[in-house]
Amino acid sequence: MIKYMDKVTFKEHLLQVLNEISISQNVRLGENCKFTVVPIIEHGKSLNSTDEYLHRGMLNEKNLSGRELDFEAVVNMLACRIPLCPIWINVALKEIREEVPIIELQTSLRFRSPSLLQNQDTGHPPFKAIISTES
C-alpha cells in the first residue's frame, strides 16, 4: 500500500500506466501525448469541501470540454492538492491523431490521501490502464 505521494511519484505512476498501455497496444506513449480529462460523478459517493471546490473551479465540464492538455499541465491539474489526489483515474488510449496519441483520463472527483487510493494492486495508484480489445 502506498503511503506517500508527491508530484514526482504522481508523474512516475502516470508514466508507468502509459508504458503498460504502450506495451499492450504496441504504440509509443509518454510525455509526447495529449490528454483529455473527464471528471466522473460517482452516484452515492459524497464530495467533501475540497472536492467541491476543485469540481466547481477546475474539474468541470465547462472548463474541460474539448480541451487537450500536455503532460505537465495534466500532472499539475490532477496533482494540485498533493499529497491528496483523485482516488482513482482510468487511463485509455482514445485515438492517435497526426501521430500524437490522445489519452483519456477518466477521474474521480474525490481527492484522498495515498493510503486510500484505489488501484493499489497495479503498482501505480491511482491509475488503472483501460485496454481496448478492439482490433
d(CA 101, CA 96) in angstroms, rounded, equals 4
pLDDT tens, position by position, for the chain (135 residues)? 778 899 999 999 999 999 999 999 989 998 899 999 999 999 999 999 999 999 999 999 999 998 999 999 999 999 999 999 999 999 999 999 989 999 999 999 999 999 999 998 888 999 999 997 654
Q: Is the pTM of this model over 0.95?
A: no
What is the C-alpha R_g of the chain?
14
Contact in structure between 21 and 127 (CB atoms under 8 Å)? no
Q: What's the gap between Cα 123 and its chain centre?
A: 15
